[in-house]
Chains A and B, each alone.
Chain A
Amino acid sequence: MLAPTALHVPPAATIHRRPIHWSTYLVNKGRVAGGFEVTRGGAFEEEVEGIGPMQLYVGEGAVGWGPRLRFWAQTEITLLTLVPAAPEDAGAPSSSMETDSSHPSQTGGLLASVLLIGSVAYVVVRQMLVARGLLEKARGPTDTEAGLVQMETVSSTESVQAQEDSSVP
């Protein structure tokens, strides 16, 4: 016999962190996947001169939360190889992080965030322009409006014609 299933209400803290690109990108300050250099705060940077920025690697995880789907994101297991950072003045090879795989999900996150913010901004600005009566001058009629205008034109032409016909003795 199947055990009774319980209604699952997700905790409030998880709601804004759902695993979709724009949410992940915006909440995590643009760090969706891959290597990043994190600068250190104000006075601390001077205090530890020479240590440089902190290296951050964000993995994409082996599975994921909720639906087991990946779209514009990949599952991963990571093998980190630690090497001493090259001194900045030694002319040694770069001390930045290197990976053998790309992380297109980082681009996906940026794109989704830009599109989302752009969409919302468009809707808000358009709504304001419509409210102020400025938008009708700035754009042409939509297809539906064009059709209605055409219908009105046709019907007014017909009524003029009918008037003319009726005025003929």
Chain B
Amino acid sequence: MPTAAVLRVCFLNESRRGKAKWLALGWCGFFGLLGLATGSSALASAAAVPAVPAALAMLLTWSWERLVQPFIEGGSPKLRLPAMALLACFWLGGLALGAFDGSPPSAGVSEPSGFTQFRYNWIGSLAIMGGLLWVLAVGEWLVLRLAPQLLAAGSLGKPLAPGLGGDEQAPDRKLTVRRTVAVALLVLYASLTAIAVSAGHGTPRIVRVTLPMAGLPRCLSGYTVAMLSDVHGGPVVGLTDVGSYVDTLNALEADAEVLVGDLADGPPAERADELAPVTRLNAPDGAYYVTGNHEYYHGSTGNDWLRWMDGHGVVSLNNTGVTLPPASSVMQSGYRSRRYPDCTAADTFDLLGVVDRSACRNQPSLCERGRVKLAVAAAKAKLRPAEAAQLGTAARASLLLAHQPLDADSAAEAGLTAQVAGHTHGGQIWYVSPTPRP
């Protein structure tokens, strides 16, 4: 169909509201796809500009119809204003509180306050409520299509026209159904929030992974590496939590320990107290660290954390690497001979680390194509200058620490054997953005 005809049918013939909707959708689609295609954060962020107020407006409307209206309908009109204020406080108050930086109330306080925990949990619970409203809307849509008689018998959310069903008692029954649904929604919201808060504050589970690596010397079979990532020390994670994670890591008695980024939200000048327990990491083959994207936010430059870790007994892998097990110290040599008696000094593998791609904010040259490949080449060149030219041709086992899984394709092209990453938090909160009502 010619472009002009599409434009006429889909846009020019629309009402003012319809035109606004299409413009917003077009904006989101254009910048969203362009952002995904080019990997540009700025473009992807631009896509969200009309989506955020639109989503908020929809959530307010939906929650008004489904949570508030059933209770004030038929009551005094004076209830309307307080009910609106309550709903606005629920959504906008949580977001407004969340807009303020969660720095500890004074310098030297390394435990989060109860109020900080509360407002962060509140923001998270809004996502859960949004998801529930979305699920309810989809449920209504399905009922409307598959069994409309059920909706005629008792509306789930929307006020019905009077007289529907030909039953004098129908409006009362419908109101009861809507109130029941609203109460169920609130109970579900409270329960799921409690479950999610409990899961977020609980002790992390220990996940044991067997990682096959091509080129790993047979005598090193069973070599263990304990990994910790995404601690986000700061507003809601304090000294006690970080200490507990470090103790758990040490209790695993791994040969080496690795910290794969996002250790803190803020520079060392503000967050060093919370991160102090990392000095207790005590794996025999050492502890190693790479930056995550959050080490470049909130006033931190990334390099400050790399330096801080180096000064506190954790080796920073800033586009460099080490060979493991290390043969440098007598103590470690003794450990090696006990643990891996069949190994010689040549039986090692490479542990490489690249700084997070967010370092490009301070160093744009890192953003060039092949960033990881170049970083790996540089790291290997430092380790074994003679083999640098043969990068990717020797089947020598190499384990890469890179915070984001997005670096995996480049790492694979660089010929690495394996990569471990964090960053995703497993999705953290299951939520689907609201869509316009069916």
Contact = CB atoms under 8 A, between A and B. Distances in A.
Interface of A: 2-3, 5-8, 10-17, 19-22, 24-29, 31-33, 35-36, 38-41, 44, 47-48, 50-86, 95-101, 103, 105-106, 108-109, 112, 115-116, 119-120, 122-124, 127-128, 131-132, 139-140, 142-144, 146-148, 150-151, 154
A57 B409 CA distance: 13
30 contacts: A5-B101, A8-B99, A12-B41, A13-B358, A14-B297, A19-B425, A20-B427, A21-B427, A28-B405, A40-B412, A44-B392, A47-B392, A57-B419, A60-B424, A61-B231, A63-B200, A67-B121, A69-B200, A73-B429, A74-B199, A76-B207, A77-B228, A79-B209, A82-B220, A82-B222, A85-B215, A97-B210, A112-B431, A128-B10, A143-B144
A102 B34 CA distance: 34
B262 A65 contact: yes
A82 B393 CA distance: 21
Given A26-B36, A64-B425, 10 more contacts: A58-B422, A58-B423, A60-B424, A73-B199, A79-B226, A80-B227, A109-B427, A127-B21, A143-B158, A150-B164
A25 B421 contact: no
Contacts of B138: 115, 119
Contacts of B59: none
Interface of B: 9-10, 13-14, 18, 21-22, 25, 35-36, 41-42, 44-45, 47-48, 98-103, 105-107, 117, 120-125, 127-128, 138, 144-145, 148, 151-152, 155, 158-164, 192-193, 195-197, 199-218, 220-232, 236-237, 241, 245, 248-249, 252, 254, 260, 262, 265, 293-294, 297-298, 349, 358, 361, 392-393, 395, 397, 399, 404-406, 408-409, 411-413, 415-433, 435-436
List the 4 shortest-distance A-B pairs measured between CB atoms, nearest first.
Answer: A147-B161, A67-B124, A61-B230, A21-B427
Nearest to B148: A140
Contact of B196 (A58, A70, A116): A70
Contacts of B254: 79
Contacts of A72: 427, 429-430
Given A8-B100, A69-B200, A132-B9, A77 B408 contact: no
Contacts of B211: 55, 57, 80-83, 97
B162 A147 contact: yes
Nearest to A88: B214
B428 A69 contact: yes
Given A56-B421, A73-B425, A99-B208, A47 B36 contact: no
Contact of A82 (B229, B297, B399): B399
Contacts of A70: 196, 199-200, 425-426, 428-429
A144 B204 CA distance: 49
Contact of B226 (A20, A75, A77, A108): A77
A61 B422 contact: yes
A161 to B, nearest CB: 17
Most chain A beta-carbon contacts within 10 A, residue among B163, B204, B254: B204
Most chain A beta-carbon contacts within 10 A, residue among B99, B125, B215, B427: B427
A64 B36 CA distance: 23
A165 B21 CA distance: 50
